[in-house]
C-alpha cells in the first residue's frame, strides 16, 4: 500500500476491481485475509487504504456468499477503524466500509450482542462533530431501517433523542445535508411501518377468508344462495 494519500483511493479501487472479477468465479478467495492481515500495522495510511478497499469490495460484489462468510472479520476491522482516535480519515473510511458491508451482516444483526455493539458505535458517531463521518453514520441508520427494521425497536428511544438533538443543532448551523438524512431515516421508518401494517392486514384478511372457507365446508347448512334455491323453486 502506498504511503502517499493521493494513491490510496486509486490503489484500493484497482484491488477491488480485480477482486470483483476474481471472487465470483472462485478465485483470489484469500484477499480478505490478506488485507486484514496488514490492518494492524501502525501506519495510518495503510489502515485507511485497507478500509477503503474493503468498502469498495463490499460495494462492488452484491449478493455475495463469500462476503457473508467473511462478515465477522470485515465488521471487526471496520468497527475498530470507526473507533480509531488517531485519524479522521481512518474513521471516515471505516464508516463508509460499514455502510457498504451492512447488507452482508444479517447473521451479525441477528445476534443481539453484536447488533448492540454496531448500533452503539453508529449512535456514538452521530453524536460527534465530524461532519462527513456523521453523514455516513446516518446512511448506516437508513440502511438498517431498510434491511433490519424488525431489530430496531429497542434502539428507537435513543435514536429519537439523538436525531432530535442533532436536527436542532443542524438547523442552527444551516446543515441541510444532515437535516435531509435525519428526515430520510424517519421517512424510511414510516415506509417500513406502513409496509408492516399492510402485511398484517393482508395476513389477517387471508386468515379470516381461510377460516370462513373452512367453516362453510364443515357446516351442514347450505350457503345463503343454496338455501334460497328450493323456496324460490316452490314459488315458481
Residues 92-128 pLDDT 10s: 999 999 999 998 899 999 999 999 999 999 999 998 8
Query: Would you say residue 76 lies in a domain?
Result: yes
* pLDDT band (50, 70, 90) for residue 224: very low
- The verdict on residue 71 lying in a domain is yes
100 and 30 in a common domain: yes
154-200 residue pLDDT tens: 999 999 999 998 888 888 888 889 889 999 999 999 999 998 888 88
Is 232 contained in some domain?
A: no
34-43, 64-73, 127-136: the lowest-pLDDT one = 34-43
Say yes or no: 115 and 212 in one domain.
yes
pLDDT reported for residue 24: 83
| Same structural domain, 114 and 87 | no
b/e 25-38 (16+ beta carbons within 10 angstroms → b): eeeeeebbeebbee
In a domain, 230, yes or no: no
Chosen domain end from 104, 137, 153: 104
Q: Are residues 72 and 114 in the same domain?
A: no
Looking at the structure, tell me whether residues 12 and 56 fall in a common domain: yes
* C-alpha dist (Å) from residue 232 to 4, 86, 170, 227, 229: 93, 89, 74, 9, 5
Q: Which domain holds residue 208?
A: 110-217
Does 94 lie in the same domain as 165?
Answer: no
Q: What is the pLDDT, as a whole number, of residue 95?
A: 95
**Per-residue pLDDT at 4 exceeds 70:** no
Let me know whether 27 and 126 are in one domain: no
| 21 confidence band (pLDDT: 50, 70, 90) | confident
231, part of any domain:
no
pLDDT band with cut points at 50, 70 and 90 for residue 66: confident
Is a pLDDT exceeding 70 seen at residue 77? yes
Same domain (yes/no): 132, 41: no
Q: Has residue 47 got a pLDDT over 50? A: yes
- Across the chain, mean pLDDT equals 82
Supply the pLDDT for residue 203: 83
Q: Identify the pLDDT of residue 137.
A: 95
C-alpha cell at 119: 448500533
Q: How many domains would you assign to the chain?
A: 2
User: What pLDDT, on a 0 to 100 scale, did the predictor assign at position 201?
Assistant: 86
| Residue 176: C-alpha distances to residues 164, 166, 168, 170, 179 (Å) | 14, 12, 11, 7, 5
Tell me the HSE value of 78 on the side-chain side, using a 13 A CA sphere: 30
Per-residue model confidence (pLDDT) at position 130 = 85
First to last CA, the chain: 95
Q: Is the pLDDT of residue 223 over 50?
A: no
Residue 90 has pLDDT above 50, yes or no: yes
**pLDDT at position 232 over 50:** no
pLDDT above 90: residue 207: no
* Last residue within a domain, chosen from 104, 135, 164: 104
Q: Where does a domain end: 104, 128, 158? A: 104
Q: Which residue has the cell 435514536?
A: 159
Average pLDDT value for residue range 61-82: 86
Q: Looking at the structure, tell me whether residues 137 and 86 fall in a common domain.
A: no
Clarify whether residues 210 and 128 are in a common domain.
yes
Q: Are residue 56 and residue 151 in the same domain, yes or no? A: no
CB-based contact 191:185 (threshold 8 Å): no
**CA gap 213, 234 in Å, rounded:** 29
- On whether residue 233 sits in a domain, the answer given is no
Q: How far apart are CA 96 and CA 74, in angstroms?
A: 12
3-class secondary structure, 81: helix
Both 90 and 124 in one domain: the answer is: no
Amino acid at each position: 500500500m502506498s504511503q502517499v494519500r493521493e494513491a490510496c483511493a486509486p490503489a484500493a479501487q484497482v484491488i477491488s476491481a480485480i477482486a470483483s472479477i476474481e471472487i465470483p468465479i472462485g478465485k483470489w478467495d484469500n484477499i480478505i485475509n490478506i488485507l486484514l492481515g496488514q490492518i494492524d500495522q501502525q501506519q495510518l495510511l495503510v489502515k485507511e487504504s485497507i478500509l477503503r478497499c474493503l468498502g469498495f469490495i463490499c460495494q462492488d460484489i452484491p449478493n455475495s456468499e463469500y462476503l457473508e462468510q467473511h462478515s465477522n472479520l470485515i465488521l471487526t476491522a471496520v468497527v475498530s477503524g470507526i473507533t480509531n482516535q488517531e485519524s479522521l480519515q481512518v474513521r471516515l473510511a471505516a464508516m463508509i466500509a460499514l455502510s457498504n458491508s451492512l447488507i452482508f451482516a444479517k447473521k451479525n444483526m441477528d445476534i443481539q450482542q453484536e447488533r448492540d455493539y454496531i448500533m452503539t458505535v453508529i449512535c456514538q458517531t452521530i453524536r460527534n462533530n465530524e461532519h462527513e463521518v456523521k453523514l455516513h453514520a446516518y446512511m448506516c441508520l437508513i440502511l438498517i431501517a431498510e434491511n433490519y427494521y424488525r431489530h430496531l425497536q429497542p434502539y428507537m428511544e435513543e435514536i429519537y433523542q439523538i436525531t432530535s438533538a442533532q436536527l436542532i443543532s443542524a438547523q442552527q448551523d444551516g446543515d441541510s445535508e444532515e437535516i435531509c438524512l435525519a428526515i430520510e431515516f424517519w421517512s424510511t421508518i414510516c415506509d417500513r411501518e406502513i409496509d408492516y401494517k399492510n402485511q398484517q392486514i393482508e395476513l389477517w384478511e387471508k386468515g379470516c377468508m381461510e377460516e370462513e372457507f373452512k367453516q362453510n365446508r364443515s357446516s351442514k347448512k347450505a350457503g345463503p344462495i343454496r338455501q334460497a334455491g328450493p323456496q324460490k323453486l316452490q314459488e315458481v
